[in-house]
Chains A and B, each alone.
Chain A
Amino acid sequence: MKNFISLFFIVFAGIAISWFGLLVVGANSLSPSEEFETTMVVAGDDVIITGHEGLAARGEQVYRALACAACHTQQVRRPGYGGDFERAWGSRQSVARDYMLQDTVVLGTKRLGPDLTNVGARHDAEWFFKHLYNPGSLSEVSNVPSYSFLFTEREMSDGNSSNSLKLEGNDIPEEGFEVVPTDDAVALVAYLQSLNLDYDLPESKRIK
């Protein structure tokens, strides 16, 4: 390692080998292909893997813009490794195929909030809206900030709008006013509702 050429070559080789052997090989083997399909039948059920579409796609961008991945993960570990299965976060390990067609994969690296891979199956839209507006009103959450800037409080015109929030206690707005979600909030909730792991794959089957 006495000269420029040999040093350059050593470093170049090291990075190139790891880049190719891990990333390029990985990208090739985990791309959709004829024998790594996105639609299949597993145990008699049709399974179609998709990316997020429509309103949920917009919600994916809101999720990214609000940096939710700073505290939430979207990966379920196998039963018996950590408590993911026991906490009912998912009945099977999430695998590569689950994410294959998503635009932005936000696996997340920290859990200051629960895992969200299967959250669409755990809560409905009303719960999500309440959670975003005032998480403290829901007993099971604790450390998440409120995202009230995703909502507007406005004067009622002709009674309650169809999507105004049903609030309780201190949250109820004054007489004649209602709280409605903005477009971003609606998209985000649509995205969260689309997060679902309740289907089997050949390489990962649910434990009932």
Chain B
Amino acid sequence: MSEDQSISKPSESVEDAELVSLNDQKSSGAPQTIGYVAIVISIVLGGLYLVRYSGGFDRDTYLESNSIIEEMAALGGGSGADGDVVEVAFDPIKEGQKIYQTNCMACHQVTGQGLPGAFPPLAESEWVSKDPALLARIVLGGLQGPITVKGNEYNSIMAPLAAVLSDEQVAYVLSYIRQEWGNTAGPVEPTVVAEARADMGAKATMWTVEELKPWITE
């Protein structure tokens, strides 16, 4: 064939092992300036962006800035995300609903209808509109033995929640129940619950309807 040409086209004047020594120089002039400017700009931009728009690294925050959160809220949608967010007025009823869902819903159901034969209803129940002092004692101390609600007799056990809920929480959940599912009684103050708790002291057994007679008024 043809004679042995050099295999590389233009000068393969650089050996592989020489690549580093060829390039081993401190950058200077334009490349260095551009490089350092780029570094400073991107660190500043990237850092600012990360801090500003991270939504507090919160799992439930999908909207990246307060202005968008407000915009969505104004439209009636969006999320009530936590963290760096618009101050929404505290709603004890909403709080009470959450407490109800966690502690009461299992037996009294989401509709407040209870379970026939097992757990009494709270919806339009005559007990719910009675003295808050009575209701606070039931929630704090629990209930056992027969009880008649809306003409039906129930005989179950309601566990005491004194150790689980604070005075405020009992007040919120009672306030919620008293205005939900057609109930039209007024809210309950935490002071009433605090009084009931102090009065009960260290009650060893759960309440019975007999024991609650002093606070049952018509």
Chain A residues at the B interface, C-beta cutoff of 8 Å: 29-30, 36, 40-41, 46, 78-80, 91-93, 95-96, 202-208
Contacts and interface: CB of A to CB of B under 8 A. Distances in A.
B77 A205 contact: yes
Interface in B46-84: 59-63, 68, 71-72, 75-81
B108 to A, nearest CB: 13
B110 A46 contact: yes
Contacts of B76: 205, 207-208
Nearest to A207: B77
B59 A204 contact: no
B179 to A, nearest CB: 13
Contacts of B61: 203
A203 B75 contact: no
Contacts of B110: 41, 46
Contact of B79 (A29, A40, A202): A202
B62 A79 contact: no
A204 B75 contact: no
A29 B78 contact: no
Nearest to A204: B79
Nearest to A46: B110
Interface string B102-128: 000100001000000000000000000
Contact of A36 (B59, B72, B97): B59
Contact of A92 (B68, B77, B97, B105): B77
Contacts of A78: 62-63, 68, 72, 78
B101 interface: yes
A150 to B, nearest CB: 36
Contacts of A41: 97, 101, 105, 110
B71 A203 contact: no
Contacts of B68: 78, 80
Contacts of B63: 78
Contacts of A79: 72, 75, 77
Contact of A30 (B59, B71, B97): B59
Nearest to A95: B62
A150 B78 CA distance: 40
Centre residue among A46, A78, A79 by max chain B CB count within 10 A: A78
A202 B201 CA distance: 39
Contacts of B105: 41
Contact of B71 (A80, A91, A202, A206): A80
13 contacts: A41-B97, A41-B101, A41-B105, A46-B110, A78-B68, A78-B72, A78-B78, A91-B77, A203-B61, A204-B77, A205-B76, A207-B78, A208-B76
A30 B59 CA distance: 7
Contacts of A93: 62
A53 B97 CA distance: 31
A93 B81 CA distance: 14
